[in-house]
């Protein structure tokens, strides 16, 4: 099994667990934005938005640059390939388990149907 930095995964998933932070990432995927623009878009205070951006920045999903009084945010260089690969492996594991369960259910249905025909005769 591939070993991951538990701390990095925890931080990534914690950052993504908040709807506002996911929204910020979606917004920055369309265009760079200042903290002020993001705060207005999400109807929150500058301080609140700075905290959200800070969480995303700590895990490398967002970078900021301050020019004068304006702090501009953009998507960071870090991608979520490892997290996406982990999620895909989990999806495959669950899909195979559900497929196996489907097979058991179909076998039971066939057996039940077969037993029902024998009892009627």
- Asked whether the CA dihedral 92, 94, 100, 105 is positive or negative, the reply is negative
pTM exceeds 0.85: no
Q: Are residues 114 and 85 in the same domain?
A: yes
DSSP state of 33: E
Q: Are strands 62-67 and 33-34 parallel, antiparallel or unpaired?
A: unpaired
**31 within a domain of the structure (yes/no):** yes
**1 within a domain of the structure (yes/no):** no
Q: Are residues 67 and 91 in the same domain?
A: no
CA distance 71 to 64: 6
The pLDDT tens digits for 30-63 are 999 999 999 999 999 999 999 999 999 999 999 9
The pLDDT tens digits for 67-113 are 999 999 999 887 788 888 888 999 999 999 999 999 899 989 888 88
Q: Are residues 29 and 63 in the same domain?
A: yes
């Amino acid at each position: 099994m591939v070993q991951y930095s538990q701390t990095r995964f925890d931080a990534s998933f914690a950052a993504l667990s908040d709807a506002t932070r996911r929204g910020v990432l979606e917004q920055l995927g369309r265009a760079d934005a200042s903290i002020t623009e993001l705060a207005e878009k999400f109807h929150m205070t500058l301080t609140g938005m700075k905290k959200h951006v800070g969480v995303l920045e700590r895990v490398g999903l967002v970078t900021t640059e301050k020019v004068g009084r304006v702090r501009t945010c953009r998507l960071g260089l870090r991608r979520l390939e490892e997290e996406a690969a982990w999620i895909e492996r989990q999806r495959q594991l669950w899909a195979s388990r559900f497929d196996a369960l489907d097979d058991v259910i179909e076998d039971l249905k066939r057996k039940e149907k077969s037993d029902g025909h024998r009892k009627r005769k």
